[in-house]
Every structure is written in C-alpha cells, then in structure tokens.
Amino acid sequence: MNSSALSNIRIVLSHTSHAGNIGAAARAMKTMGLRSLYLVNPQSFPDINADIRAVSARDLLDHAQVCSNIDDALNGTVLAAALTSRSRELEHEIYDAHMGARVLLEHAVNHPVALVFGAETSGLTAMEVSKCTLKITIPTNPEYPSLNLASAVQVMAYELRMAVSKHHNTIEPVKSLQHEPATLDEAERYYQHLEQVMIQIGFLNPQHPKKLMQRIRRLFSRTRLEKEEVNILRGILNAVEKNLPRKL
C-alpha cells in the first residue's frame, strides 16, 4: 500500500465555531498528505481567518465541501470514525489514535472513509457519533484532556502518515468482506426503513423509542455490512410491509 490511500480519507469538521481552526486544520492535513476536507454547518466559511491560518493550504479550503448535515458529509463512505474522548452509554468499538489510523487505512485502500471531529466546545453529538462506525481517542493527560481542534487533526494526520510509512508492506485491503461493502448512506436508508417497519408492526413506540435504534446501529456497525446484505435485509422489510393489513 502507498500514500494514495490517504486520498480516500475525508476529514470532517462538524459545526466548527472558529474559522481559524478550519484553516489550521487544513494546514495540518496538507503537511501529512491529506486533502479531502468536509465541513458540516461551519459558523463562518469562507472566512479571512481561515485563509490566514491555512497559509499555503488554501487550496484545500478552496475545494472543501460544505454540507448541511453529517449524512451528507458521510455520503459514499464505507466507514466513519468519531474522534471523541467522551464516554457514552452505548459505545462503539474504541481504538487509540495509533490503531485507529491503521483501521482507517485498511478500509481506505479501496474505499472512501471519514474521520469526524466535533465542535470546539461541545464535541460530537450523540446523534453524530451514532452515525459513525467506530470511535477513536487520543490519549491525553487525564487531568487536562482538552485538545484544540486543529491540534487533534494534526495528531491524527500524523498517525495516518506514520501508518502509511511504517506499515506500507503490511497494511492490506480488508479481506473480511468478500463483496462490495455497503456505504454508510446505504446503511442509513436501511436503518430508516427498519425503523419505519418496526413502528408499523408495533415493535417500536415512536413516542418512547428509548435507545432501540442506537443499539441496532451499534450492532450493525460491528458487522461491516455488504451491499448485497443490505439489499437482502431491505427485501425482507419490503416483504413484511406487503403482508401488513391495509389501513382503511
């Protein structure tokens, strides 16, 4: 594997409040060979402060994709990693920065993947994390775990670059999938379809959903669904819908 896998890695910044951090993140990316920047509802972009902090990485800003929601930013990817240190009740698979970079690269050899960073003050929301496949943490001083957004991007960009340099002969495409992996947007449409059917059959109460869909998302995120498998699952749902009593 060579550094071309880096071109399949998207850096997604969600709800960034300080434009300067976007520019600094772009600079951190370019120094390590990453070029794909996606912005979810930035508070201010384009912005002169982003240009100033980007220095010679303004070309990344010029080609940055601005999205209205996390689903748009993840569209077409087969795996997304949430960069967060916050513990949650329903956890995904968790990797440190070093191992997380390797997992991303294993999938990025042949398919687009995403590394998602949250807002500076609040981080990623529970909903945004639930849209991701796994979680990556950067080990920090437990007495002061706060890390600047651009610094976090730099750490992960460095780990990705080092993984390419150190393991270029050992990192191979993921072999667990014999067929084409499902993209996250295909999986998302399945989740929405499943939720709709569960409501129709009375298995899910939309007024009191508890955390059923979060648990289901976490379950399937561990399986790395293939396209054919998603089609089978949605075919089952279509058959269930056809056999439901018609409403008068």
Calculate mean pLDDT across residues 37-49: 98
Is residue 204 scored above 90 in pLDDT?
yes
Return the ∠ at Cα 184 (arms to 37 and 134), rounded to 5°.
Answer: 80
Q: Positive or negative CA dihedral for 102, 105, 109, 113?
A: positive
- 200: domain CATH number? 1.10.8.590
Express the helix, strand and coil content of the chain in percent, nearest 5 each: 45, 15, 40
Domain boundary among 135, 166, 197: 166
Which DSSP state fits 235?
A: H
* 98 and 204 both lie in a single domain: no
Judgement on whether residues 162 and 188 belong to the same structural domain of the protein: no
Q: What angle do CA 123, 126, 130 make, to 5 degrees?
A: 115
In the predicted structure, residue 13 carries a pLDDT above the cut 70: yes
Is pLDDT above 60 for 206? yes
> Could you tell me the pLDDT band of residue 146, with boundaries at 50, 70 and 90?
confident
Give the residue from 166, 193, 226 where a domain finishes.
Answer: 166
Residue carrying the six token digits 């075919």: 235
Decide: residue 203, CB within 10 A, 0-12 exposed, 13-18 middle, 19+ buried.
exposed
Supply the range of the domain harboring residue 46. Answer: 3-166
Residues 26 and 93 in one domain: yes
Highest mean pLDDT among 142-151, 177-186, 232-241: 232-241
Cβ neighbours of residue 33 closer than 8 Å, sequence gap 6 or more: 3, 6, 161, 164
Q: Which residue type occupies 123?
A: G
Between CA 152 and CA 156, with CA 153 as vertex, the angle to 5 degrees is 85
Distance CA 23, CA 47 (A): 9
One domain for residues 112 and 155: yes
Q: For residue 124, which of 15, 38, 9 has the smallest C-alpha distance?
A: 15
Report the helix count and the strand count for the chain, using DSSP H and E: 10, 7
Number of domains the chain contains: 2
The CB density around residue 2, as the number of other CB atoms within 10 Å, is: 8
Beta strands in 4-149 (DSSP E): 9-14, 36-40, 65-67, 79-83, 93-96, 113-117, 134-137
CA 97, CA 159: separation in Å to the nearest integer? 7
pLDDT in tens, 215-224: 999 899 888 8
Q: What is the pLDDT of residues 163-200, one digit of tens each?
A: 998 765 555 555 544 679 999 999 999 999 999 999 99
Task: Identify whether 160 is part of a domain.
Answer: yes
Same domain, 223 and 119: no
Q: Is residue 248 part of a domain?
A: no
pLDDT score at 168: 59
